[in-house]
Amino acid sequence: MIIQSGIFNFNFESFLNDFNNFMPLLFFFLKFILAGMLLLLGSISLLRLKGMYSRERLRNPNIDNSYLFKNSRFILGNVYLVLGIGFIFNFMIYALILIFNLIPDMLIIPLIRSIESIPQEFITDYFINNNLDTPPEVFVNNIIGIVSFLIFFSIIFNIWSLVTNRDFNISKQVIGLGVGVIAGCLFSFSRFLLLFL
């Protein structure tokens, strides 16, 4: 059986270029998917709160409107609505970049530096300087951006689940939130935000 050698030729640089060219489109869609999810979660929180307020009012007619404003669901629902609108119009992206600059992240760099087999120039170029001159550097930046997006989405969803959960079994949400915060500190909370602009 004769196997043509041309079939198995794989051009890695061409693959990286195609992947890197596709990523701006992916992040464009992820931006609006995230905005839509935030608007949906915010709306669900406020609608559930309205239903709870109506039921509470039937039981206790003397309840006042402060019940709504003091409720954590009301605060969370409005915050998520503002976040969703802010992502659509980009103003919240800039605000979150400024906020996340105050939080330490990329703590994985000292761990990587401790591995002697990894060249220090690689760490500086790929993780710190963000030169993005070559396709592999852009590729690594895009992968970190995807991981950062998943971390942010996990934190957002776990906070929503924690606040809106009616059960007392909140261990999954607390563990998920803790893992998200630790992962954000290790990798990045904000790398995906720059790719949304």
**Percent of the residues in the chain that have a pLDDT greater than 90, as a whole number:** 34
- Under the banding of pLDDT at 50, 70 and 90, the label for residue 141 is confident
Please give the average per-residue pLDDT across 130-140, as a whole number.
Answer: 75
**pTM for the whole thing?**
0.83
Rg (CA), the chain: 22
Domains in the chain: boundaries: 23-196
Token couple for 34: 């995230």
Please give the average per-residue pLDDT across 121-149, as a whole number.
Answer: 78
> pLDDT tens across 46-87, in order?
888 777 666 666 676 666 655 555 678 888 999 999 999 999
Answer positive or negative: Cα dihedral of 109, 115, 119, 122.
negative
Length of the chain: 197
Q: Can you list the pairs that 109-118 forms with residues at least 24 positions away whose Cβ atoms lie under 8 Å?
A: none
> pLDDT tens across 86-115, in order?
999 999 999 999 998 888 777 877 777 777
Token couple for 57: 């009012």
